[in-house]
Amino acid sequence: MDLIALAAVVLFAHGQTTERTVVAAERLGRAIGVPVTALPYWGQLTVEIEGTTVSKIVPVKPLGVDMGKVLAVTTVVDQVCDGKLEADAARSALALAGRLPPVSTLRFTLLAAVGAASLGVIFGVADAVSLLLIAGSAAIGALVRRRPGFSANPFIKPLCAATIAGAVAGAGRLKLSEAITLIAFCPCMVLVPGPHLLNGAIDLARTRVALGIARLAYACVFVLMICAGLWFGLVVTGANPSGRRSGGADAAGR
């Protein structure tokens, strides 16, 4: 029970879909001779032995996304199911998979910057200054999100990163770039919790209504924090998200 619960919890907590989490737990149970049913909920995961009243409840919330851990656990489950790994060895392998470190801060920051700049190119940014502002804004936001001990609240980090994006977009007021809107929005696009939105929608489609609503509610609050941070950053710097100059500047131009 502990072995199966450990595998299911790591998968569930780090971005795996609910259906694949359930299937992996049940496959692992059959492989070691303990047929089980996995029942994920928001806040806990229950593993029940089929045909009995024996169950194990583990507190867990699917807040994170770490495909490295998901891949490592899935590999261990496959090895056990294929008879290549004994249950005793699988326990230590699963524990090790759950402790895998996330991608390095340097790589995370670089990919955030490249991703945001690539979105800028897709949406029509042509000048190098705008692309540098987009990449720099996303990189600073990524560093803030990766700062050790910054906040245990999952909503504070996207709020701060989006605020930085809005503040950097204020550089448009200094005529460094005309693409104020994209400078503001492209770094925020990489913050959108796509896996949570998709997993929530999939849960609803599979009639896991309560869990699907909970996932989508979490993702929507996440997006709301991004919007609030972006708005705050723009307001503080006085930037206009429409990309137009202020009324006084327009009058002077006319």
For 30-50, give the DSSP string. HHTT--EEEEEETEEEEEEET
DSSP 144-201: HHTSTTS-S-TTHHHHHHHHHHHHHHGGGGGTS-S-HHHHHHHHHHTTS-HHHHHHHH
pTM of the model: 0.85
Distances (CA, A) of 24 to 43, 76, 81, 133, 137: 19, 10, 10, 43, 39
Q: Is the pLDDT of residue 110 over 90?
A: yes
Rounded to an integer, the average pLDDT of 148-172 is 85
How high does pLDDT run on average in the chain?
A: 88
Listed residue (213, 198, 201, 220) closest to 41, CA to CA: 213
The predicted structure's pLDDT at residue 178: 59
Structure tokens at 106: 């340097």
Q: Is the pLDDT of residue 27 over 70?
A: yes
The predicted structure's pLDDT at residue 249: 38
CB 39 within 8 A of CB 58: no
Q: Is the pLDDT of residue 137 over 60?
A: yes
Share of the chain above pLDDT 90, in %: 65
pLDDT (tens digit per residue) in 50-62: 888 889 999 999 9
DSSP secondary structure code for residue 124 in this structure: T
Read off the pLDDT band of 241 (50, 70, 90): low
The predicted structure's pLDDT at residue 181: 83
Lowest mean pLDDT across 151-160, 188-197, 219-228:
151-160
pLDDT (tens digit per residue) in 37-48: 999 999 999 999
Read off the pLDDT band of 220 (50, 70, 90): very high
pLDDT (tens digit per residue) in 173-202: 555 555 778 888 999 999 999 999 999 999
Rounded to an integer, the average pLDDT of 135-140 is 94
Amino acid making up residue 66:
D
Distance, in Å, from the CA atom of 208 to the CA atom of 199, rounded to the nearest integer, reads 11
The predicted structure's pLDDT at residue 1: 86
The predicted structure's pLDDT at residue 175: 56
The predicted structure's pLDDT at residue 171: 62
35-45 burial code (b ≥16 CB/10 A, e <16): ebebbbbbeeb
Domain extents in the chain:
2-98, 105-253
